[in-house]
Chains A and B, each alone.
Chain A
Amino acid sequence: MMKFLAMGGYARYVWPCYLLTALVVGLNIRWALRALRSAQAEARRRTASVKAAS
């Protein structure tokens, strides 16, 4: 296990790469869902106000 984590002496470079990748992958999921939810909330408010006006 320690041998695996040491990455043949390249741990200093290999693991930050994987960490950064996990971060970018995770953030993109979060940003995409947040953008969709806010657009849906906005659209819902609009359709509700249109209904109320008619």
Chain B
Amino acid sequence: MAWVWFHRFGSPPHFYRLATRLTPWFAWPAALLCAAGLVGGLVLAPPDYQQGDGFRIIYVHAPAAWLSLMVYVVMAASAAVGLIWRMTVAYAVSASCAVIGASFTALALATGMLWGRPMWGTYWEWDPRLTSELLLLFLYLGYLGLRNSIDDIGRADRASAVLAIVGVVNVPIIHYSVVWWNSLHQAPSVMRFGRPTMPAAMLVPLLLMLAGFTAYFVALLLIRSRGELLRRERNARWIADALGARAPGKV
């Protein structure tokens, strides 16, 4: 049974149609979750007893950092599926991740610096968490640079897939860096074993933002994957049907 699902999912026309249909089902919940999270985080949550209102940066910093890691895992996992099963859809998904991941990694670093300045007294420190997150940005940029340097899309897919898979070793290093080494950065307060360390009034908006950013990423990924799929299936007959079904210019 599982294999039937896998093959259907791997069929480009089926995936294209499914992605088109599913996009609003992620985009709208993303907007609603983020709106609720922003009200909760900026207005309803009480100020922190140590950091005052400065802690509210968490509601954009943590979701950006979460996406930087999650997007990388999706990129590497779909690259592996592409390499193993030679699946076009998987390569299209993998290639769609890089720009999204790179921009949210840069955002996590930038918001982290703006948070570090008032709380730690410095924008930047060569600290394990900050350094490994910077390395993640370079991995994304390396992936994009490698792809851009290869004209043939099939070769670009295979070469960049290897880079993505090798680089996945950095993901647990980033996550556990605050546990393994002495770091300025605080330890995880949500994604940890046992109960989160925050009161509900602070935690709930954060969870809403994390869910909202995740849904937003899925919507972006579905949109981008369709474009990547079209570029890989240039000569397939399903494309005329898929495009003909909708008015020109409409997404």
Give A contacts to B, CB under 8 Å: 4, 7-10, 13-14, 16-18, 20-21, 24-25, 27-29, 31-33, 35-40, 42-44, 46-47, 51
Contact = CB atoms under 8 A, between A and B. Distances in A.
Contact of B248 (A8, A25, A32, A44): A44
Contacts of A10: 52-54, 56, 118
Contact of A43 (B117, B118, B243): B243
Contacts of B223: 32-33, 35-36
A15 B114 CA distance: 10
A20 B107 contact: yes
Nearest to A12: B118
Interface of A is mostly: helix
B147 interface: no
Contacts of B240: 47, 51
Contacts of A36: 223-224, 226-227, 251
A38 B243 CA distance: 13
Contacts, number: 99
A27 B239 CA distance: 28
A10 to B, nearest CB: 4
B149 to A, nearest CB: 19
A25 B57 contact: no
B239 A47 contact: yes
B10 interface: no
Given A4-B43, A24-B104, A43 B230 contact: yes
B137 to A, nearest CB: 13
A7 B43 contact: no
B220 interface: yes
Contacts of B224: 32, 35-36
A36 B86 CA distance: 23
Contacts of A42: 230-231
Nearest to B233: A43
Contacts of A13: 54, 57, 114-115, 117-118
Given A14-B57, A43-B239, A47-B240, A38 B227 contact: yes
A35 B226 CA distance: 9
Contacts of B114: 13, 16-17
A43 B42 CA distance: 45
B168 to A, nearest CB: 22
Given A17-B111, A17-B115, A39-B227, A7 B103 contact: no
Given A9-B52, A21-B64, A46 B251 contact: no
Contact of A8 (B52, B230, B234): B52
